[in-house]
Amino acid sequence: MIDISIRHQLGDLSLQTDIQAGPGINALFGRSGCGKTTLINIIAGLCTPNEGHIIIGDRVLFDSGAGINMAPEHRRMGYVFQDARLFPHLSVVQNLTYGMDLLSPGDRRHTVEEISNLLELGALLPRQPTTLSGGERQRVAIGRALLSGPAMLLMDEPLASLDAMHKAEIMPFIERLRDELALPVFYVSHDLDEVIRLADNMIVMSNGTVAVQGSVEQTMARLDVQAFTGPHEAGAVVIATVQNNAETDGLTELLCEAGRIVVPGIDIEPGTSIRLRIRARDVSLATTVPVGSSVLNVFEGTVVDVKEVNGEPHADVLVDVGVPLISRITRRSAKNLDIKPGKTVYALVKAAAIDKPSGQMPGQRTSEGTSEGTSEETNGSPFID
């Protein structure tokens, strides 16, 4: 377990965080200037907080009360920056082994061959950094961090400097290290799509404090989280399992705790777990069973909460249909339908609104180490947004 409780003043930023995290990718999410990078610099030992403690498993990295402040080189943190920061005068293989050569043999967790296979770097090993694409450079930077024998990986917006094509190139490799290495990761991002695709847990920061923390599904189901994600990003994240593909009409049937849900066809093996991001703007509500509707996904549920934003014409409604769904309707509709907690409603989700396969649930890898259901259409990444 990871226990971080620190207080620190840096210019106008007052950082006050209390974080309990576990394995997998823990995404530090928030707007620029909220303290994400400062926090991971503190974890790495590059900045000393005014007070508090940082405990990773049974290792105390910092404790102001006990006078403990472990030096950065002894903290065993692998750090991947926004830009790759490779040594231009060294080859790829020399960059990879730079940190590894400083370790005693007993502290080495992986071989160059293992990391090269994980990140598909074999063909790049003899090359110079100046001949690599942006995505290739970041893969090498990740490999170098992993070969330094880290107890935890810190990634500071590693995709922010890449264009869309190179982001798509590198994301499957980050999923792979998430799924195949027993290594906790703190992943800094202000890109919600990245976080939903890659992270196990979200730590939402605002003005130096932790506003919300929990699993991706729990966090995105909160009506108050849109204050930090942005009003247009409201919507729930649902875990579902692929049941079958209907070849005649191009649809795929999934099963979640709410029941069956139909989406546009995706080439993913039955039995694979995927994430569905169902945006609030794509969910309508009715108080009676719809008749003669084109909507294929209809779920009976109970209103849990209603949130109105001053000055806005809409209201966000949290509905329990077996899983949380959020519906964005006008305040006039909420009044006309008498929408309030405890009321039974029917949530309508258009299948056609769920139409962009682009991510992968943790742990969905085959024994060969490739993504289940990999195809050109899905890029091996079953996250539907």
| Domain boundaries of the chain, sorted by first residue | 2-220, 235-384
Q: Residue 366 pLDDT > 70, yes or no?
A: no
CA–CA dist 100, 149 (Å, integer): 7
For 239-271, the pLDDT digits (tens) are 999 998 776 788 999 999 999 999 988 888 889
Phi and psi torsions of 352, nearest 5°: -70, -15
Token duo for residue 167: 């982001």
Mean pLDDT check: name the lowest of 95-109, 115-129, 360-374.
Answer: 360-374
Given a contact cutoff of 8 angstroms between Cβ atoms, the answer to whether 25 and 41 are in contact is: no
Amino acid at 89: H
Res. 382: pLDDT tops 60: no
Overall CATH class of domain 2-220: alpha beta
Task: Say whether pLDDT at 135 is over 80.
Answer: yes
Question: Residue 136: which H helix or E strand, with range?
Answer: helix 134-147
Fold of 235-384: OB fold (Dihydrolipoamide Acetyltransferase, E2P) (2.40.50)
Q: pLDDT by residue (tens digit) across 143-201?
A: 999 998 898 999 999 999 888 888 888 999 998 888 888 789 999 998 898 999 899 99
pLDDT in tens, 60-94: 999 999 999 999 989 999 999 988 899 999 999 99
Mean pLDDT of the chain: 88
Global pTM reads 0.85
Note the pLDDT of residue 335. 95
| H helix runs in 181-313, sequence order | 192-198, 216-220, 226-229
Edge to edge, the sheet with strand 2-10 lists 68-69, 59-63, 51-56, 2-10, 13-21, 209-215, 201-206, 25-29, 185-189, 152-156, 77-80
Q: Distance between CA atoms of 121 and 136, rounded to whole angstroms? A: 8
pLDDT recorded at residue 158: 93
Q: Compute the distance between CA of residue 185 and CA of residue 187 in angstroms, rounded to an integer.
A: 6
Q: Which of 173, 175, 155 is nearest to 119 (CA)?
A: 173
Rounded CA separation 378/385 (Å):
12
303 vs 267, more confident? 303
Residue 214 has what pLDDT?
93
Q: What is the pLDDT of residues 34-70, one digit of tens each?
A: 999 999 999 999 999 999 999 999 999 999 999 999 9
Q: How far apart are CA 365 and CA 180, in angstroms?
A: 8
- CA–chain centroid gap for 117, Å, is 24
Q: Which two tokens stand for residue 227?
A: 């204050």
pLDDT band at residue 116 under the 50/70/90 scheme: very high
Looking at the predicted structure, is the pLDDT value of residue 27 above 90? yes
The per-residue pLDDT for 190 is: 87
